[in-house]
Amino acid sequence: MEKEIIISKPDMNHFKEMSEPYKKVLANDVHGLAAIYSGNPDALFNPITARIDTIFHIAAYDGREEVLRVLLGKVPQSKKAEVLKVKNIYGNTILHEVATTTHVNAARLLMEEVLPGIDNWQREEILGAQNKLGETPLFRAAEYSCKMMVEYLATAIGRTGNLESHFRRNDGTSILHIAVIGQKFDTAIWLLGKSPELATYTDKNGNTSLHLLASMASAFKSSSPTKGIFKELIYHSIPSDSRKEEGTNELTKNRQNRDLEQGEQNRGLNQQDYCKGWKMIVQIWKQKKMHESAVKLAKLLVETDASWFEPHEPEEDDTIVMERKEEEKEETSKSNATANTERSPEPDTPLLIATKTGIVEIVNEILTRYPQAVYHIGTNGRNILHVAIMNRQYKVFNVVKNKKEAKRLVRGIDNHGCTILHYAAKTKYYHGGTKPTPALKLQQELTWFEEIKNHMPSHFIMHLNKRDTTADQLFKDNHLDLLKTSQEWVKTTSQSCSTVAILVATVVFTAAYTAPGGFLQNGRPILLEQPLYSFFTVMDVAGLASSLTSVVIFLSILTSSFEFEDFHHRLPRNLSLGFTFLFFSVTSTMMTFTATILLLVHLEKKWTATLTYAAAFLPICIFALFQFPLYYQYFVAAVKSILDFLKRNLPGNWDFLQIIDD
């Protein structure tokens, strides 16, 4: 039973005293607030929210400069320092609250009204005040606010105190860590310029800022591609940020341009203002700016990263094993049980984390600056190819496979006895691929497996991992569910398409014996001499032939064995042909219908004829609109299978016959 809450009359009066100033500060009612506190300035320090915020907390957070100016004028000079010392329930002072916003003028007003009248010791106390997490106002600004706020607070701190005392909070997280976590990359770049040693700071888990950045797939173009051709075109049409870095740390009071992270720049240079109102363009613009800032930050952080140089010797040499001893199997089962309960606290290196998340920019930057880093081996014995392949990071794999060092890396065997081909077979980190249907997903996995196999020494295919399994066996075991799903999808799709093709064949077959206009007594069509009649005949025959061909193709698909090998080339190719003939048969049927209408009804007005044509082609357009993406995928799959066949069987170098996959 819930406890009954009884509110006394004094409590009601207190609630009213709290609600009135709260409403007025939100409404920016300066005169109303002045009237409330004119006779009782001590009430300015009373809490007015459940978070124990004072009127100053709310006004500062909302950027009410005039309200702050009037209320500060009512505080006696001897108590003004207390304004910036009072804390809410989270231990945040007024500077903590305003530091999380972009209201730099409000922060400047507070500090100019309060700080000049106090000594340096009190200034350091106010600027270095910590909340319950151990965060100073500067620390919170790095996570939530813009670069301009961080610059202003850092400049104020630099005049009287030690900036380094603001670099960490209680849990060991540094100010650069928090800027990266908040994706304030311009702020992070500025902080690195101020204190380069921040790049080497680690948190309680041993992560540097580069570790965190390497795990942010959404911050980079390669790992968060723009979806849609139109959006991609806009992305590449937007100009890059060519602004030069400012050469001074001093901030002028009349600075009006906001930081890049808030989506605005200097009014004289900002082209983004022309896109206001176009939400999609503004969003893509901000995304591109974030991508560019993330790349700049990554380049700075990579300069001080030496984690790739830490040696980790793998437990197994690059020699294949064709038979495992029983002792090894027992030891493997014990080690697997231990691995499930105990995890190493040591994090992966930024190189392997970026490989896992598919951030090509960081991988390229590390390998460009330190080419020998490509040989780096993680604590579990995996190299960069193991990680890229197991996480299906095709772009990273394409970067590494073209390097000379790849010939040595492909022979790598990790601590579980797995080659890179074993990881191409595993689906633990497989998240559905990039293809739309189960059949294409399975084909993508088969193609991926075959490509990895082609890059390995041929005898490595026979290698047994510590679970006594070859890569081929592992692939079939891990893809059984996908195979069953693909089989069901292909059968259902083929049956549905066969039904449609038979209906189309029935319609066009009937149309052939019910010619428009009828027949003469000798069996000759009445409208035979009309030009459109020949068009009607050709379209009718084409529709019948293509629909029957489509039926035959789909029937051949239904009678196939549906094994793994069938999904690699034959089934996708046949589905592509079946869809092509089905689409052509539907198109021919509609053209036949259009020709019939024009033969029977003589349209003299142009607008009537135009409407007739539009109505006739509407089903074709809708069919093409909805089926084109699927048809395109299967068409590409069919073309790739044909090109692969030519490359395998024709003499000479046919590498130019290649379609780059996703």
Q: How confident is the model at residue 344 (pLDDT cuts 50, 70, 90)?
A: very low
Pick 263 or 172 by higher pLDDT: 172
* Residues in contact with 546: Cβ distance below 8 Å, sequence separation at least 6, in sequence order: 581, 582, 584, 585, 588
Tens digits of residue pLDDT in 366-388: 999 999 999 999 888 999 999 99
Round the average pLDDT of the chain to a whole number and report it: 82
Rounded average pLDDT over 85-93: 93
Q: How many helices (H) and strands (E) does the chain have?
A: 28, 0
Pick 660 or 25 by higher pLDDT: 25
**What are the distances in angstroms from CA 508 to CA 138, 279, 542, 551, 582?**
76, 49, 9, 14, 13
Pick 159 or 179 by higher pLDDT: 179
Which pLDDT score, from 0 to 100, does residue 537 have? Answer: 84
Tens digits of residue pLDDT in 26-80: 898 889 888 888 878 888 888 988 899 999 999 999 999 999 999 998 888 888 8
Q: How confident is the model at residue 266 (pLDDT cuts 50, 70, 90)?
A: very low
Asked if 210 and 301 count as a contact pair (C-beta separation under 8 A), the reply is yes
pLDDT at 254 over 70: no
Please report the domains of the chain, with CATH numbers, ordered by start residue: 12-170 (1.25.40.20), 171-245+272-305 (no CATH), 326-330+371-478 (1.25.40.20), 488-649 (1.20.140)
Among 168-172, 456-460, 558-562, 615-619, the minimum mean pLDDT is found in: 615-619
Which pLDDT score, from 0 to 100, does residue 122 have? Answer: 87
Which pLDDT score, from 0 to 100, does residue 395 have? Answer: 93
Rounded average pLDDT over 85-106: 93
Closest by Cα among 110, 112, 108 to 94: 110
User: Distance between CA 195 and CA 190 in Å, rounded?
Assistant: 9
Which pLDDT score, from 0 to 100, does residue 489 have? Answer: 93
Pick 503 or 520 by higher pLDDT: 503
Q: How confident is the model at residue 114 (pLDDT cuts 50, 70, 90)?
A: confident
Contacts 24+ apart (CB under 8 A), 127-130: 127/95, 127/153, 127/156, 127/157, 127/160, 127/161, 128/157, 128/161, 128/165, 128/166, 129/84, 129/85, 129/87, 129/93, 129/95, 129/96, 130/91, 130/169
Q: How confident is the model at residue 517 (pLDDT cuts 50, 70, 90)?
A: low
Q: How confident is the model at residue 232 (pLDDT cuts 50, 70, 90)?
A: confident
pLDDT at 428 over 50: yes
Tens digits of residue pLDDT in 521-532: 666 766 666 777
pLDDT at 484 over 70: yes
Percent of the chain with pLDDT over 70: 78
Q: How confident is the model at residue 329 (pLDDT cuts 50, 70, 90)?
A: low
pLDDT at 277 over 50: yes
Which pLDDT score, from 0 to 100, does residue 331 have? Answer: 55
Pick 13 or 41 by higher pLDDT: 41
User: Distance between CA 139 and CA 169 in Å, rounded?
Assistant: 8
What's the one-letter identity of residue 590?
M
- 566 burial type by CB count under 10 A (0-12 exposed, 13-18 middle, 19+ buried): buried
* Residues in contact with 629: Cβ distance below 8 Å, sequence separation at least 6, in sequence order: 436
**What are the distances in angstroms from CA 232 to CA 220, 227, 286, 310, 434?**
14, 7, 14, 39, 17
Among 55-69, 160-174, 297-311, 605-619, the minimum mean pLDDT is found in: 605-619
Whole-model pTM over 0.75 = yes
Rounded average pLDDT over 85-96: 93
Pick 211 or 321 by higher pLDDT: 211
Among 63-67, 250-254, 437-441, 630-634, the minimum mean pLDDT is found in: 250-254
Pick 650 or 51 by higher pLDDT: 51
Rounded average pLDDT over 205-230: 88
pLDDT at 310 over 70: yes
Rounded average pLDDT over 157-178: 90
Q: How far is CA 428 from the centre of its chain?
A: 20
Percent of the chain with pLDDT over 90: 42
Rounded average pLDDT over 441-461: 91
Q: How far is CA 592 from the centre of its chain?
A: 47
Which pLDDT score, from 0 to 100, does residue 618 have? Answer: 76
Which pLDDT score, from 0 to 100, does residue 555 have? Answer: 93
User: Distance between CA 264 and CA 271 in Å, rounded?
Assistant: 9
Asked if 427 and 481 count as a contact pair (C-beta separation under 8 A), the reply is no
